[in-house]
Structure 1
Amino acid sequence: MKPFLITERDGAILVVRMDSPETRNALSEPSQMQAFVDLCAMVRADRSVKVVVLTGNGPAFCAGGNVKDMRDRGGIFAGSPYEVRESYRNGIQRIPLCLYDLDVPVIAAMNGPAIGAGLDLACMCDVRIAADTAKFAESFVKLGIVPGDGGAWLLPRIVGMPKASLMALTGDMIDAQTALAWGLVTEVVPLAELEASAMSLARRMASNPSHGLRLTKRLLREGQHMRLDSLLELSAAFQALAHHTEDHTEAVAAFLEKRDPEFTGR
């Protein structure tokens, strides 16, 4: 069986492509969930990776769950209610727990529709760039089910509760320009320019010191559920670590000497 995720390196950037165009990169197989878990474990262990770009091969970014499997009660939808619950907990719910929690920035380059779990997958990333042909829907309710992979937590944090409620309770599709106006994506470009735009942004992020990137993202994540005073305590601790990195010393020297810095990741 061919791998669901294809990876390639461009310097400090890891490009990840979902490669099941025949199913519009639908997420229904346990092996696909495991592929994301393994990917995140690899990135956490590889300190040379600074940024991840996630995209899809074919006409869609990710079509969400496989509706045919839902009809046939196959794959992760098979078995008793208890078994389905465990399939979610031990399957697709492992993706937000590892991908959202990843220390390095993740850019979603959305080459086509992101539907249901596909939209939630994009919301697990830090920044979303969309092709002008992309469409988006939190469409679970149209199939008589609920967001089962974290969408009810993720989406309101990006577009706000009123718009998240509108999307989740109607299941309606929105186009790329609406997604841009709502803050769901930060940029809309022609499909032919999508990868170049995503890589340009990734290089801007990757030009910064590794420790600073990872610590900054961790603060942004922790700030989602901490009080201000608690976050300030964590910020002070992280700042103490950052001030004692070689890359911070180099960044300060380069700034004062009006030259480009040369970072080593130390």
Structure 2
Amino acid sequence: MTQGATTPFLTIVRDGPIVVATLDRPEQRNAISTDRDIADIVDFCAMVTADHSIRAVVLTGAGKAFCAGGNVKDMATRSGMFAGSPFTLRGAYRTGIQRIPTALYELEVPVVVAINGAAIGAGLDLACMGDVRIAADGATFAESFVKLGIVPGDGGAWLLPRVIGMARATLMTLTGDAIDARTALDYGLVLDVVPPEQLMDAAMAIARRIAANPGHATRLAKRLLREGQDMKLGPLLELSAAYQALAHHTRDHEEAVAAMLEKRAPVLEDR
């Protein structure tokens, strides 16, 4: 791997067509604590979107936690992201942390989330914004907002039911109780549970399988999956036809067809 850019909150490493982004504030359990943290994630998504040579992202956390959500100490003192009147706070959520689901969930490049430890509150919702989730044995998950007398303010009430279904999402949201990695696997929250030392290898293996395909195809396919959750069949078929017409006229489609006919690996040019 070659080292890429590093921000105050993210460490970014490039490995060919794959980018690994690590939430890198382990002393705070990778809590999302400042507007700069939010901007780092949003800016990262913009960078990935603009670079068509990136075909997959792996998102993980440094240290023992994936992401502990919001900074509870700041909540206690009503400081930082939690300062101000109710009207101020409402605006701060809309122009602050709610920018993350808009940027990350809508990111067309496939995102593999490697959950190395606790994914709590906004940290669980962050994981749900990815496409494929795998967890280290020992990871925990909680939609824990009600434990603090608050509600999911970052889109969790929309995200979690779409991942695990309404009944289980309701239970997790209204109790705030944590579940372990094996329960998360049973719920369909994660695709696999592996020993901690194997987590990144497993995540990279999935990312490489995705990145072996033309990037335009995986981006458009992901967009169809996203849009299909809220569209009727007719409009989705129209959108599929439009995307397919675009895909047929790409250089990598021509190369992929030729490679299949010639029984060889394609040489992709991301165009």
TM class by smaller structure: over 0.9
Separation in structure 1 between the aligned mates of residue 26 and residue 88 of structure 2, nearest angstrom: 28
Match of 1:70 in 2: 75
Match of 2:164 in 1: 159
The aligned amino acid for 1:134 is A
Separation in structure 2 between the aligned mates of residue 39 and residue 260 of structure 1, nearest angstrom: 30
The aligned amino acid for 1:101 is E
The runs of at least 4 consecutive aligned structure 1 residues that moved more than 4 Å come to: none
Does residue 265 of structure 1 match 2:266?
no
Maintained 8 Å contact 2:29/2:66 = yes
Match of 2:200 in 1: 195
Give structure 1 stretches of 5+ with no counterpart: none
The aligned amino acid for 2:258 is A
Match of 2:134 in 1: 129
Maintained 8 Å contact 2:7/2:40 = no
Separation in structure 2 between the aligned mates of residue 93 and residue 189 of structure 1, nearest angstrom: 31
Cα distance, 1:86 vs. partner? 1.1
The within-5 A match list for 1:46-125 is: 46-125=51-130
The aligned amino acid for 2:242 is A
Give structure 2 stretches of 5+ with no counterpart: 1-5
Separation in structure 2 between the aligned mates of residue 2 and residue 204 of structure 1, nearest angstrom: 28
SS in 1 for 2:13: strand
Cα distance, 1:37 vs. partner? 1.0
Cα distance, 1:28 vs. partner? 2.1
Match of 1:213 in 2: 218
The aligned amino acid for 1:223 is G
SS in 2 for 1:184: coil
The aligned amino acid for 1:85 is R
Cα distance, 1:2 vs. partner? 6.5
2:186 to 181, 187, 196: 181
How many residues were matched structurally? 266
2:35 to 23, 30, 48: 30
Identity of aligned residues (%): 67
**Cα RMSD after superposing both structures:** 1.0
The aligned amino acid for 2:166 is M
SS in 2 for 1:7: strand
Separation in structure 2 between the aligned mates of residue 28 and residue 8 of structure 1, nearest angstrom: 23
The aligned amino acid for 1:6 is T
Maintained 8 Å contact 2:141/2:180 = yes
The aligned amino acid for 1:201 is I
Separation in structure 2 between the aligned mates of residue 27 and residue 260 of structure 1, nearest angstrom: 41
Further displaced range: 253-262 or 26-35: 253-262
SS in 2 for 1:9: strand
Does residue 243 of structure 1 match 2:243?
no
The aligned amino acid for 1:254 is A
